[in-house]
Structure 1
Amino acid sequence: MKKLGLFLVMAIALMVLAACGSEESKDTSSGSAEAASDKIELTYWYAWGDKIGENNENLVKQFNESQDKIHVTAEFQGTYDELHAKTQAAFAAGNAPEVTQNEIASMGVFAKSGMTQDLTSFIENDKEINMDDFNPGLMGNSYVDDKVYGLPYLRSTPILYMNATMAEEVGLDPAGPKTWEEFEEYAKAFTNGEGRVGMSLPIDIWFYEAHVAQAGGTMMNEDNTEVAFNSPEGAAAFDFWRNMSNEGTMKLSSGTEAGDKAKQDFVNGHSGMLFSSTADLSYLLQLAEEKGFDLQTYFMPKGKEAKVPTGGANLVMTSGLDEEKQQAAWEFIKFMTATEQTAYASEYTGYLPSRLSAAESEKMQALYKEKPQFKVAVDQLENGIARPMAENYPEVVKILIDEMTRGILDESIPTEEVLDTAAEKANAVLK
Structure 2
Amino acid sequence: MKRLLFLFSTLLLFGFAGMRGAGAVEITVLYPQPYLYQAPVEEIVKAFAAKRPDIQVKLLAPTKAYEETASAVLRGAVTGSMPDIAFNGTNLMHLFVDRKLAVPLDGFVAKEADWEKQGYVPGMISTGLVNGKLYGMPFALSTPILYFNADLLRKAGGDPALPPKTWPELLALARRVTDAASNTHGAYMVWTTTGNYLWQELLFTHDGQMLSTDGKKVGFDTPAGLKTFEILRDLVKEGGMPNLTDEQATQAFIAGQIGFYMSSSARVNSFTNKIGSRFELGTAPFPSPRPDSKIVSGGATMMIFAKDLAKQAAAWEFIKFAAGPIGQTIMVRHIGYMPSNQIAIDTPELLGNYYANNPNMRTAISQRARTTAWLGFPGENSLKAIQVIYDVMESVVAGKATPEDALKRSVTQVQALLPK
> What whole-Å deviation, never above 9, does each CA across 1:151-183 have from its counterpart, x for those lacking one?
111111111111112222333210211111211
Equivalent position amino acid for 2:137 in 1: L
Residue pair 1:203, 1:252 contacting (<8 A) in 2 also? no
Query: Does the aligned pair in 1 maintain the 2:190–2:262 contact within 8 Å?
Result: no
**Residues 339-378 of structure 1 correspond to what in structure 2 (within 5 A)?**
339-362=325-348, 363-378=350-365
Q: Hey, what's the Cα distance between the residues in 2 that align with 1:285 and 1:179?
A: 24
The superposition leaves residues 264-302 of structure 1 with CA deviations (integer Å, 9 ceiling, x where unpaired) of: 12112221111122111111100110x621111111011
**Displacement after TM superposition at 1:192 (Å):** 1.4
2:59 is aligned with 1:68: no
Matches within 5 A, 1:265-280: 265-280=252-267
Q: Judging changes above 3 Å, is the alpha-carbon distance between structure 1 residues 69 and 142 closer, same or farther for their aligned structure 2 residues?
A: same
Question: What one-letter code is carried by the residue in structure 1 that aligns with 2:227?
Answer: A
Give the distance between the partners of 1:243 and 1:51, measured in 2 at CA: 30
Is contact 1:201–1:252 with CA below 8 Å preserved after alignment?
Answer: no
1:289-337 deviation digits (Å, cap 9, x = unpaired): 0x62111111101124522111211011005x12111111111111111
Provide the residue aligned with 2:222 in structure 1: 231
Encode CA deviations 1:13-57: one digit per residue, 9 max, x unaligned: xxxxxxxxxxxxxxxxxxxx9871111111111112245311100
Cα distance between partner residues in 1 of 2:97 and 2:117: 20
**Residue in structure 1 matching 2:39, options 30, 48, 54:** 54
- Measured after TM superposition, the shift of residue 409 of structure 1 is 3.0
Q: Which residue of 1 aligns with 2:407?
A: 419
List 4+ stretches of structure 1 deviating above 4 A: none
Distance change (3 Å), C-alpha of 1:68 and 1:139 = closer
Counterpart contact for 2:137–2:323, Cα < 8 Å: yes
- Which whole-Å CA distance do the structure 1 matches of 2:179 and 2:355 have between them? 34
- The one of 297, 312, 322 aligned to 2:299: 312
Return the alpha-carbon distance in structure 1 between the equivalents of residues 399 and 383 of structure 2: 25
Aligned residue among 182, 188, 193 for 1:200: 188
> Which amino acid is 2:211 matched to?
M
Supply the distance in 1 between the matched residues of 2:169 and 2:399 (Cα, whole angstroms). 27
Distance 2:248 2:375 in 1: 27
Contact 1:336/1:342 (8 A) holds in 2: yes
Q: Which residue of 1 aligns with 2:165?
A: 178
1:93-172 matches, cutoff 5 A = 93-130=79-116, 133-172=119-158
- Percent of aligned pairs sharing the same letter: 26
1:284 and 2:275 correspond: no
How far apart, in 2, do the equivalents of 1:136 and 1:383 lie? 15
Aligned to 2:311: 325
Q: 1:91 and 2:77 equivalent? A: yes
What is the CA-CA distance between 1:403 and the residue it aligns to?
Answer: 2.0
- Contact map agreement 1:168 1:174 (CA 8 A) in 2: yes
2:382 matched residue in structure 1: 393
Shift of 1:68: 2.6
Corresponding residue for 1:293? 279
Residue equivalent to 2:204: 213
Does residue 337 (structure 1) correspond to residue 297 (structure 2)? The answer is no
Structure 2 SS opposite 1:282: helix
Measured after TM superposition, the shift of residue 83 of structure 1 is 2.1
Paired residues of 1:42 and 1:99 also in contact (CA < 8 A)? yes
Pairing partner for 2:178 from 181, 187, 191: 191
Q: Assess if the C-alpha contact under 8 Å between 2:178 and 2:186 holds in 1.
A: yes
Q: Distance in 2 between matches of 1:405 and 1:51?
A: 24
Structure 1 residue 220 displacement after superposition: 1.9
Paired with 2:250 and 2:123, the residues of 1 have a C-alpha distance of 27
Match of 1:241 among 232, 236, 243: 232
- With over 3 angstroms needed to count, the CA separation of the structure-2 counterparts of 1:183 and 1:134, relative to structure 1, is farther
What is the CA deviation profile of residues 191-228 of structure 1, one whole-angstrom value per residue up to 9, with x for unaligned ones? Answer: 11332111123333211111111112122222322221
The residue that corresponds to 1:251 in the other structure is: 242
SS at match of 2:179: coil
Match of 1:404 among 388, 393, 397: 393
- 2:5 is matched with none
Q: Counterparts of 1:182 and 1:117 in 2: how far apart (Å)?
A: 47
1:187 Cα deviation after fit: 1.0
Tell me how far 1:134 sits from its aligned partner: 3.3
How many residues end up aligned between the 2 structures?
A: 392
Contact 2:151 2:279 (C-alpha < 8 Å) held by counterparts:
yes
Whole-Å separation in 2 of the counterparts to 1:103 and 1:131: 27
* 1:222 equivalenced with 2:213 (yes/no): yes
Shift of 1:365: 2.0
Cα separation, partners in 2 of 1:353 and 1:402, compared to 1, 3 Å? same
Choose 1 or 2 for highest CA Rg. Answer: 2
Deviation at 1:72, TM superposition (A): 0.8
Seen in structure 2, the aligned counterparts of structure 1 residues 200 and 156 have a Cα distance that, compared at 3 Å, is: same
The equivalent of 2:25 in structure 1 is 40
Q: Distance in 2 between matches of 1:164 and 1:221?
A: 41
Secondary structure of 2:88's partner? strand
The structural deviation recorded for 1:70 is 1.0
Hey, what's the Cα distance between the residues in 2 that align with 1:131 and 1:250? Answer: 47
Separation in 1, partners of 2:52, 2:191: 45
Scaled by the length of structure 2, the TM-score of the pair is: 0.88
Shift of 1:97: 1.3
**How far did residue 252 of structure 1 move?**
4.2
Say if 1:165 and 1:293, in contact at 8 Å, map to a contact too. Answer: yes
